[in-house]
């Protein structure tokens, strides 16, 4: 430690504050996060389980109550929007699906309709987009459950998708159901 001297005020290194993060840095961070998520959503056909065009899809995560899932599978929940992935290529469909789920979650929607088509004529396998969509939805944390739609909403060519509550909706529910606030 011989010859070491303390830094003077002008030579000291100061840590950057969050307020100094530029818009371009935020954009790069967001792009990096998107890239990480899209890596989970594979476009490699060898890494997914193929499904049949007429196969009924039914996926429910732990924590979703059976009566709630039954209502979803029966098409009883209202969906305010839908996403049609029919004419898209695999990479386009992946990005569209991811952005759509994120957007609907932020808007507080709980149930959406995803139209993927049956894919009888798709190559190299039947139900190509359908198979990818099923795989992708299982990897998205905001998706709680999904089930093939009723005939009037697209049948086995579409899925009802249940999303988790956004933070805004959770706060609203907490405030609304807070014990001791008003009369019951």
Residue 182 reports pLDDT greater than 60: no
Give the pLDDT of residue 154: 95
The share of the chain scoring above pLDDT 70, in percent, equals 89
DSSP 128: H
Looking up tokens 């359908």 gives 130
For residue 145, give both structure tokens.
Answer: 């459950």
Average pLDDT for the chain: 87
Query: With contact defined as beta carbons under 8 Å apart, do 53 and 130 qualify?
Result: yes
Distance CA 141, CA 77 (A): 20
Distances (CA, A) of 169 to 97, 163, 183: 22, 12, 22
Chain segment 83-102, per-residue pLDDT in tens: 999 889 999 999 999 999 99
The residue ranges of every structural domain in the chain are 38-171
Write phi, then psi, for 34 (nearest 5 degrees).
-60, -45
Q: Cα Rg for the chain, rounded, in angstroms?
A: 23
Give the whole-angstrom CA distance, residue 143 versus residue 150.
19
| pLDDT for residue 85 | 96
Asked whether the predicted pLDDT for residue 13 surpasses 70, the reply is no
Using an 8 Å Cβ cutoff, are 137 and 59 in contact? Answer: yes
Give the per-residue pLDDT at 12.
Answer: 60
Between CA 26 and CA 33, with CA 27 as vertex, the angle to 5 degrees is 90
Is the pLDDT score of 184 beyond 60? Answer: no
Q: Candidates 3.50.50.100, 3.40.50.2000, 3.30.1370.110, 3.30.390.30; correct CATH number of 38-171?
A: 3.30.1370.110
Higher pLDDT, 87 or 112: 112
What pLDDT is attached to residue 148?
97
pLDDT for position 61: 94
pTM of this prediction?
0.77
Q: For 21-80, write each residue's pLDDT tens digit.
A: 788 888 787 777 777 777 788 999 999 999 999 999 999 999 999 999 999 999 999 999
The Cα 39–Cα 141 span in angstroms is 14
Nearest-angstrom CA–CA distance, 145 and 175: 26
Residue 181 has pLDDT above 70, yes or no: no
| pLDDT value, residue 34 | 73
């Amino acid at each position: 430690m011989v010859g070491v001297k303390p830094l003077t005020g002008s030579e000291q290194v100061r840590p950057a504050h969050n307020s100094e993060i530029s818009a371009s840095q935020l954009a790069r961070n967001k792009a990096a996060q998107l890239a990480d998520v899209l890596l989970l959503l594979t476009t490699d056909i060898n890494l997914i389980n193929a499904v049949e065009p007429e196969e009924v899809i039914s996926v429910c995560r732990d924590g979703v109550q059976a009566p709630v899932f039954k209502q979803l599978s029966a098409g009883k929940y209202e969906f305010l929007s839908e996403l049609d992935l029919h004419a898209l290529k695999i990479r386009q469909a992946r990005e569209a699906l991811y952005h759509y789920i994120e957007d609907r979650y932020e808007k507080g929607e709980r149930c959406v309709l995803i139209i993927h088509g049956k894919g009888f004529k798709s190559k190299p396998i039947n139900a190509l987009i359908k198979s990818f969509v099923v795989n992708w939805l299982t990897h998205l944390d905001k998706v709680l459950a999904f089930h093939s739609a009723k005939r009037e909403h697209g049948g086995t060519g579409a899925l009802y998708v249940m999303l988790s509550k956004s933070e805004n909706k959770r706060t609203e529910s907490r405030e609304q159901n807070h014990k001791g606030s008003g009369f019951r």
